[in-house]
Amino acid sequence: MPDDGSLPSTLWIGGAQWAGKTTVAQLVAVRHPVVLYAYDYHDARSHAERSRAEPQRFPHRAALLAALDRDPDQIWVWPRPEEMAASALQSFAERFEMVLEDLRGMPRGVTVLAEGWGLRPDYLAPLLDRPERAVFLVPSEAFRQRQLQELPRAGAVGVRVSDPARAQRNRIERDRLLADDVVSSARRHGLRVMEVDGTRSAAEIALEIERQFRPFLPRWLY
């Protein structure tokens, strides 16, 4: 991939919320000798604290976390969904710097499979030597509604707010706007978008992605 040579060979699964990115990435990773990089895990492990510790480097993310600590209504209840989507994109941009730092710390010679909704086409396109190294999963509206009904973590924002119903409506519309942005930016860069509509299992989607990634996947040595 075009870079200064410090990034490992990386395959990317991005996309929208509730499309099954993590499940699919895990299915691919158990069948191939790759290092799985889970975006949300690394936020919980270090990105949030890094943002708080270095607000001069990550000003938007640090301010957002401070507001969340102070009054979650400022994040989930009062902003319009369009403002929430714009804020998320700013956070994604700052967090992607941390993603690249994490990847540069990987051992040389490994192949990394990175997944997460903050891995946006605009950030990845300049890094790709081949467009087949990236794919973006986006749920159909029907599948999104199914996930919202069936996944406990999708059914509420997960923090105490004054108006949980409004916060959830805001979140759903924010996620819809961010999904639309993934589709338009991926198409602008000539990168593949896969719609997940529930007619295929996660295992079937994982096999299709494996076929796309096959030229770049390492083989087992034994």
Determine, yes or no, domain membership for 6. no
For 105, the token pair is 């710390």
> Which pLDDT score, from 0 to 100, does residue 219 have?
85
Instruction: Classify residue 196: in a domain, yes or no.
Output: yes
Euclidean distance between CA atoms 12 and 39, whole angstroms: 11
143 domain-assigned: yes
The reply to whether 221 falls in a domain is no
Determine the structural domain holding residue 67 and report its residue range.
Answer: 13-216
Q: What is the DSSP letter of 195?
A: E
- pLDDT above 90 for 2: no
Encode 37-74: b = buried (16+ Cβ within 10 Å), e = exposed: bbbeebbeeebbebbeeeeeebebbbebbeeeeeebbe
User: Does residue 79 lie within any of the structural domains?
Assistant: yes
Domain of 95, CATH number, reads: 3.40.50.300
Q: Is the pLDDT of residue 3 over 80?
A: no
Q: Please state, in angstroms and rounded to a whole number, the distance separating the CA atoms of residues 145 and 214.
A: 32
Determine the Cα–Cα distance for residues 52 and 127; give it in Å rounded to an integer.
27
222 lies in some domain: no
User: pLDDT tens for residues 87-97?
Assistant: 999 999 999 99
**Residue 130: predicted pLDDT:** 97
Taking phi over 0 as left and psi of -120 to 50 as alpha, with beta for the rest, 119 belongs to beta
CA 100 – CA 47 distance, rounded (Å): 12
Total tally of structural domains belonging to the chain: 1
Question: pTM to 2 decimals?
Answer: 0.94
3 state DSSP class of 10: strand
